[in-house]
Amino acid sequence: MRSRVEDREFDVDVEGSGAGGGPVAKELAPLSREGVRIAVLEWGPRLRDVDYTGRELEMAERLYRDGGGFFTRDRTVTLAMGRAYGGSTVVYTGTSLPIQGRTVARWAVPGLDHRDLGERSEKYLRENGAHLLEEGELNENNRLFREGCRSLGYHAAQFPVNVRGCRGTSLCNLGCPNGAKQGTHRVQLPEAERQGVAVVTGCRVERIEEGACHVTVENPGFGLPSPWPPGRYRVRTRLIVVAAGAIESPALLARSRLPVRLPALGRYLTLHPALILVAQHDRPVVGSRGHPKSFICDAFAESHRFLLETCMYFPFVTARNLIGFGADHAAMMGAMDRLQMILALALDPALPENRVTVDRHGEPVVRYRLGDEVLDSLHQAMLASARIFFAAGARRVHAPAGARFFLVPADAARLEEAIPRRRVRPGRISITAAHLMGGCRMGEDPSDSVTDAWGQVHGLDWLYVADASLFPRAAEVNPYITVMALADRVAQQVRERLARA
């Protein structure tokens, strides 16, 4: 790599190209025709169609930060974050749910109301082609979930997914090899580029300051090479929009040593801590055929603070989430084509001690404590899922905190005993998170927020945040549509700012 630092110059830098950065780029793109120079600086690679091989470990390495194995500091939660042209929208499942009014009320951010977020969410639902799958497109895993919920009287609803020409290969979390899933890499970024926005992949933003950001460009060794030669650059710019996600955005601001005090920076991180739950049927389920996700059960969202959704996981991730080993583990994995799967998401509280900081190299360190409230939710989620599995006809259920590896239908009558709360402990069960939120939360008061309700960092009129780090609390539903709606507000603010200038 060259040691000389090269200069580049733009008017607006958008840092990150996922659910936040993509919409900002597309919304600002028409300004390119008026001579405003806009760049998206994206750390991850831009993959070609042939690079989507569908092979689990290979794609995890190509598309996820740390191959999908980024841990919290105490190693009790694994965090999944996409790192590519399109960010996590390349690997998301496409569940397209707008935020609920009661959640926006809980957020209590002056200047942010549900009507505005709702209208902007609608715009992105349309833009991304979100729709309900036809009955004939639902796979057996989804139908079993609906049946199980219905027979127990649990409210379960079908949600829209954002696919166009889905071929039902179920590979969404490894990047869609058929170009069907509508992430920012398919919708917003190509549109922005058509209008003149430059997207620089393989480009990690190391540090920002007023008037410039400092980046390193490297080629990933797969996908398309970065449009800039490998090396270090100073990118001069008037405005910066940070959209690097809920872990990297607070880390980037922290290592940049900004000339303002931001005591809430990195704090109030929420994760929707999740469990992957599985059960074995006698007949084929084959969740790997058809689109993986279509149903949500929100019956316990208020009473026990968790959601249940359909899901499909690949062999490595599934194996990692089963608690135990040996013959039982092998028997469960051997029955992959007969497994029903449910994803349980705890709706975690926003606490100041759950936070992102940086180590001495400027790399993010995530401190997140799984408190009793979250563990209670996960316990209740295991009980409810076991009931649904048995009601749907499962022969053997694996509950991560179960007293035995397999629970059988006879256990259904005494689940509290079969899945004791005391066994739900951090480190004992495998917890993952893909809904990473907060760290640069919006608000009015700089003592407990980082940006205003329009994403401008308190005290710095050249710096905006536009991603999931803006969330003041958990989204309480799958978050990407809300990230886009918030990014849309930030883009509007930046446009108005440029017009005034």
Ligand X SMILES: Cc1cc2nc3c(=O)[nH]c(=O)nc-3n(C[C@H](O)[C@H](O)[C@H](O)COP(=O)(O)OP(=O)(O)OC[C@H]3O[C@@H](n4cnc5c(N)ncnc54)[C@H](O)[C@@H]3O)c2cc1C
Q: Which of 29, 78, 82, 310 binds ligand X (CB under 6 A)?
A: 82
Output the smallest distance, CB 162 to ligand SF4, in A.
Answer: 9
47 binds ligand SF4 (CB under 6 A): no
What token pair was written down for 253? 């601001």
Q: Which of 61, 67, 100, 168 binds ligand SF4 (CB under 6 A)?
A: 168
7: enclosing H helix or E strand: strand 5-9
Ramachandran angles phi, psi of 44, nearest 5°:
-80, 175
Residue 306 binds: one of ligand SF4, ligand X, none (C-beta under 5 to 8 A by kind):
none
166 binds ligand SF4 (CB under 6 A): yes
Output the smallest distance, CB 106 to ligand X, in A.
Answer: 18
User: Which among 310, 376, 37, 272 has a CA at the least distance from the CA of 170?
Assistant: 310
Residues 243/15, Cβ–Cβ less than 8 Å: yes
Coil/strand/helix, residue 336? helix
Q: How many residues bind ligand X (CB under 6 A)?
A: 41
Residue among 86 and 402 whose Cβ is closer to ligand X: 86
Taking CB under 6 A as the binding criterion, the range among 26-34, 132-140, 143-151, 239-247 that sits at the site for ligand X is: 239-247
| Number of other residues whose CB lies within 10 A of the CB of residue 409 | 13
474 binds ligand SF4 (CB under 6 A): no
User: Which among 87, 65, 68 has a CA at the least distance from the CA of 77?
Assistant: 68
248 binds ligand X (CB under 6 A): yes
- Pairing between β-strand 231-236 and β-strand 5-9 as defined by DSSP bridges: parallel
Write the binding mask 416 to 435 for ligand X: x where contact by CB under 6 A, - elsewhere: ------------------xx
Output the smallest distance, CB 83 to ligand SF4, in A.
Answer: 19
Residue 173 binds: one of ligand X, ligand SF4, none (C-beta under 5 to 8 A by kind):
ligand X
Residues 332/280, Cβ–Cβ less than 8 Å: yes
Alpha-carbon distance values, 228 to 216, 351, 490 (Å) = 10, 41, 27
Alpha-carbon distance values, 23 to 127, 192, 364, 430, 439 (Å) = 10, 9, 25, 34, 20
**How far is the C-alpha of 224 from the C-alpha of 246, rounded, in Å?**
26
Residue 81 binds: one of ligand SF4, ligand X, none (C-beta under 5 to 8 A by kind):
ligand X
Q: Which of 277, 278, 468, 486 binds ligand X (CB under 6 A)?
A: 468
Q: Which of 65, 146, 181, 355 binds ligand SF4 (CB under 6 A)?
A: 181
Residue among 272 and 458 whose Cβ is closer to ligand X: 272
Q: Which residues of 461-497 are buried (b: 16+ CB within 10 A; e: fewer)?
A: eebbbbbbbbbbbbbbbbbbbbbbbbbbbbbbbbbeb
User: Which among 264, 221, 247 has a CA at the least distance from the CA of 447?
Assistant: 264
Residue 129 binds: one of ligand SF4, ligand X, none (C-beta under 5 to 8 A by kind):
none
Sites for ligand SF4 among residues 277-296 (CB under 6 A):
291
398 binds ligand SF4 (CB under 6 A): no
**How far is the C-alpha of 87 from the C-alpha of 180, rounded, in Å?**
16
Taking CB under 6 A as the binding criterion, the range among 73-81, 161-169, 200-208, 449-457 that sits at the site for ligand SF4 is: 161-169
Alpha-carbon distance values, 431 to 71, 80, 358, 489 (Å) = 10, 11, 23, 33
17 binds ligand X (CB under 6 A): yes
**How far is the C-alpha of 365 from the C-alpha of 333, rounded, in Å?**
33
Residue 178 binds: one of ligand SF4, ligand X, none (C-beta under 5 to 8 A by kind):
ligand SF4
Residue among 11 and 140 whose Cβ is closer to ligand SF4: 140
138 binds ligand SF4 (CB under 6 A): no
23 binds ligand X (CB under 6 A): no
Residue 396 binds: one of ligand X, ligand SF4, none (C-beta under 5 to 8 A by kind):
none
Neighbouring C-alpha atoms within 13 Å toward the C-beta of 419: 28
**How far is the C-alpha of 247 from the C-alpha of 362, rounded, in Å?**
12
Output the smallest distance, CB 416 to ligand X, in A.
Answer: 31
204 binds ligand X (CB under 6 A): yes
**How far is the C-alpha of 310 from the C-alpha of 142, rounded, in Å?**
6
Q: Which residues of this chain interact with ligand X, rule CB under 6 A?
A: 15-21, 41-44, 80-84, 87-89, 91-95, 173, 204-205, 243-246, 248, 252, 434-435, 467-468, 478-480, 483
Q: Which residues of this chain interact with ligand SF4, rule CB under 6 A?
A: 163, 166-172, 176, 178, 180-181, 291
